Structure 1
Amino acid sequence: MYLDFQIITPMKIKFLFLTFILFSQLSFGQLTAKTNAVISLIGNQINSDLQKDNLHGSISVAILKNDRVIWAGAFGHSQMEKDVPADTNNIYRIGSITKVFTATLLMQMVEEGKIKLDDPVENYLPEIKNLKDYDKYSKITFRQLASHTAGLKREPELRGADVGPLDQWEQKVLACISKTSYNSKPGEQFLYSNIGFAMLGLAISRAAGVPYMQMVQQRILDPLHMTDTYFALTDDKLSRLAQGMSNGNGGVNIDLPARELKGRGYRVPNGGIYSTPRDLAKFAMSLTGKLALLSAKSWKQMQEVPPGGEKYGLGLMLYKSADLDVIGHNGSVPGYTSEMGIDQPSGYAVILMRNYNIGSTNLTSIAHLALKALKQAD
């Protein structure tokens, strides 16, 4: 993937704008010629990458500035074997971007005084004591689970942990605990742990006395009017789902993503949400301080790397360079990949969703390149 955002001449602007208006399924406000040119470069690159990948897949994009979506577009096809053009109403799995939702719930509970970040999780989830070698180490805290510094391995050693009905995810988490091992002492080092985040979601739910999915609905989706974000899809929503294609090792598996429509086992608080880029944009706005769900103090805490941590706060990936100060997250589940990157100084955010796993487009790289170019175009 190569993007030349360095030289945007008037002639290039004119050419790119003519190309820009040919893209299907777009919505945008009054943008400058330079901003249109940057967006055209992004679209051209995505279209080129989709052609190279040759999977008949799609990538859907939303670009925000402060409190509004300034552009949204979809490229490619939403079905593997049908000529159905992708559009901005297609639904995708967002994977681990779900972790930002879970961390937001945690901070809301902290603000309400129901949880302290350094409380032992066992106070609310006593079953965590069933972890292998739990008694050998200090007690795991909420801060450690939310920052992947609890020392837990990425996945439990339980066959079928990642399959099972949505309404039985809590039982699956509890079954996974005794099959989960430590990789290091709590607070010693960073190790990304999906099962750790699932335990976090269940512990938050226990502390609130409200089911996790209900908390997400009432505390995040409803206040932000996110009407196109779900944990389960009804039949009428399934018609808008971009078909997931789990590709790799020279083949494409459509059965695994289809099977996971019925549930992902324990993987709900760490990767269970469906959405569209434009609907997820409302959540991204809350991370820029617009439509805020949390206090400024809480957002600051979410961006602090704890002892043993590494470029990760509380449910937030952190990226800083000379040009960018990005918070957000990416996601990957069978058949889907996603990216949400927010440059805080400029207020720009880029959201991308794809209905396959391995491809020419590096979603994180293109998001960062786009954010840098959009800042330069201002």
Structure 2
Amino acid sequence: MPADPFRSALRTSGLLAVLTAAVLALTGAAAPAPPAPSADTTGDPVLAARLRAATADLAGQGFAVAAGDATGGTSAAIGTAAPGRALTAATPQEIGSVTKGLTGLLLADAVERGEVAPTTTLGDVHPWLSGPLASTTLEELATHTSGLPRLSTRAALAAPITALTYGNPYRWDTPENLLRDAAWTPLRGPRGEFAYSNLGYALLGNALAQRLGQPYPQLLRERVLDPLGTTATEAAPDPLPAGRARELGPDGRPSTPWRSSGSTPAGTGVYSTAEDLGELAAAVARGDVPGARALDAVVQTPGAGVGWGWLSAELAGRTVVGVNGATTGVRTSVWAVPATGRWVAVTSPSGGTGEADTQTVAFRLLGLA
């Protein structure tokens, strides 16, 4: 499958482990141990037992899940959200690039209303732009085929240090400086070819906000979250949600939440719960999610079809549709099998050494290899 929400940052985990070990050796400090779920269990006991079996070989302080089919669903969690506090399916955490799936739905909704078209360009939205960026279409941004690099220049420069310290490489991003940055940033690859880009998705969400005349968090709330009934999902909340999980990196060290005004549409500072994401997954399974056009594959890669923020693939003779997210301190996956009506959402407030451990859990709970 193609690179997924912030996965490329996780691919450096081996290098980070070496660097971290070197720092600890020089300072004489002991290496933290990867977090493991405690015996705490909440929610449906049958689903919790299935969840514990599905995560037996995976690290993380806890895992929460909502799962079901056309007849309904249930939820459960194992492990802790913070010291002395059990994780539940209602515990808020960051969702990383699952946000890209929401931004894709927002784009599809705007297209359905006739407010933009897939061929609308950034130059149409920002008339002062010139050069290749001005001719970049919203669909190119939505399908990661714009040729833009994964990160803005500021975030790329900060990434080596913030990856080692589990900091926030996006904290300088604003809609204005991201657009200026992208205007002179060399393309990473040919336009039309898949190349995963957080920068591209930030520009997409910000362009929708500019064209529609409302801040991105407000647009997302009114057009996607409220119709879904996902009241616990918030973009750029201030203050951060009460009762949120403590985020841990792959080695158990605390991780800083990723927040920025510019990169919110790509997945910084967006919070939700397994229960709320279950509502999203259930709507995807039913096919009645707002902006359902976003689910349709537009670009084919060797591993999966790429829609507007959503992936699709054939597994065990069934088409699965979903999206994953990760920061250094969280992992999140939302997957559905429309033909059977089955759906699942998995969250974990811990970064992983694997690229998408919550996707592995989701597929196991769906009975897919």
Is the shorter-chain TM-score for this pair beyond 0.5, marking a shared fold? yes
**Structure 2 CA distance, aligned partners of 1:106 and 1:343?**
23
Which amino acid letter does the alignment assign opposite residue 62 of structure 1? Answer: A
| Unpaired stretches in structure 1, ≥5 consecutive residues | 1-21, 29-35
Of the two, which has the highest radius of gyration?
1
1:356: Cα distance to partner? 1.2
SS for the counterpart of 1:77 is strand
For 1:214, the equivalent position in structure 2 comes to: 218
| Match of residue 188, structure 2, among 171, 183, 187 | 183
Which amino acid letter does the alignment assign opposite residue 228 of structure 2? Answer: L
Counterparts of residues 84-95 of structure 1 (less than 5 Å): 84-95=85-96
**Structure 1 CA distance, aligned partners of 2:235 and 2:208?**
18
Counterparts of residues 8-27 of structure 1 (less than 5 Å): 24-27=41-44
1:120: Cα distance to partner? 2.1
Alignment check: 8 A CA contact 2:286 2:338 kept: no
1:292: Cα distance to partner? 3.5
1:217: Cα distance to partner? 0.8
Deviation sequence 1:255-286 (CA, Å, 0-9, x none): 533xx3xx235320010310001011222232
The answer to whether 1:321 aligns with 2:318 is: no
| Percent of pairs with identical residues | 23
The answer to whether 1:343 aligns with 2:337 is: yes
Alignment check: 8 A CA contact 1:229 1:276 kept: yes
Structure 1 range deviating more: 213-222 or 307-316: 307-316
For 2:16, the equivalent position in structure 1 comes to: none
| Unpaired stretches in structure 2, ≥5 consecutive residues | 1-38, 159-167
For 2:139, the equivalent position in structure 1 comes to: 143
Alignment check: 8 A CA contact 2:96 2:332 kept: yes
Deviation beyond 4 Å, 4+ runs, structure 1 = 233-236, 307-310
For 2:249, the equivalent position in structure 1 comes to: 246
For 2:163, the equivalent position in structure 1 comes to: none
1:357: Cα distance to partner? 1.1
Alignment check: 8 A CA contact 2:96 2:330 kept: yes
1:76: Cα distance to partner? 0.6
The answer to whether 1:125 aligns with 2:126 is: yes
Counterparts of residues 50-199 of structure 1 (less than 5 Å): 53=59, 57-66=61-70, 68=72, 70-79=73-82, 82-126=83-127, 129=130, 134-135=131-132, 139-158=135-154, 159=157, 162-164=169-171, 169-178=174-183, 180-187=185-192, 189-199=193-203
The answer to whether 1:286 aligns with 2:283 is: yes
**TM-score, normalised on structure 2?**
0.77
SS for the counterpart of 2:100 is helix
1:359: Cα distance to partner? 5.0
**Structure 1 CA distance, aligned partners of 2:107 and 2:341?**
24
**Structure 1 CA distance, aligned partners of 2:142 and 2:230?**
24
SS for the counterpart of 1:237 is coil
**Structure 1 CA distance, aligned partners of 2:252 and 2:76?**
25
For 1:13, the equivalent position in structure 2 comes to: none
Alignment check: 8 A CA contact 2:297 2:312 kept: no
Deviation sequence 1:53-103 (CA, Å, 0-9, x none): 4x6x111111021363x2211111111xx2222122211111100011111
Aligned length: 317
Alignment check: 8 A CA contact 1:59 1:76 kept: yes
**TM-score, normalised on structure 1?**
0.75
Which amino acid letter does the alignment assign opposite residue 297 of structure 2? Answer: E
Deviation sequence 1:189-213 (CA, Å, 0-9, x none): 1000000010010111122122111
